Amino acid sequence: MARFGLCDTCAHAKLNANTRGSVFLFCKLSREDKAFAKYPPVPVLKCPGFKPSDR
């Protein structure tokens, strides 16, 4: 199910859920590169940090 655009298949993506069951897309690349938002506005359609996931 595509919900977050490119992030759906990116190795840097991590899904975080809150206690109400909402799911947020956290970008792990933001930890090492401040150019990337922790919680990017989704869907992400273009991203220079995109790295295809093995999933």
Q: What is the token pair recorded at 15? A: 């899904």
Residues 1-40: x where in contact with ligand SF4 by CB under 6 A, - otherwise, as a string: -----xx--x-xx-------------x-x------x---x
Q: Residue 25 phi/psi, 5° resolution?
A: -95, 115
- Of the candidates 16, 49, 54, 55, which one interacts with ligand SF4 according to CB under 6 A? 49
50 binds ligand SF4 (CB under 6 A): yes
Amino acid at the residue 55:
R
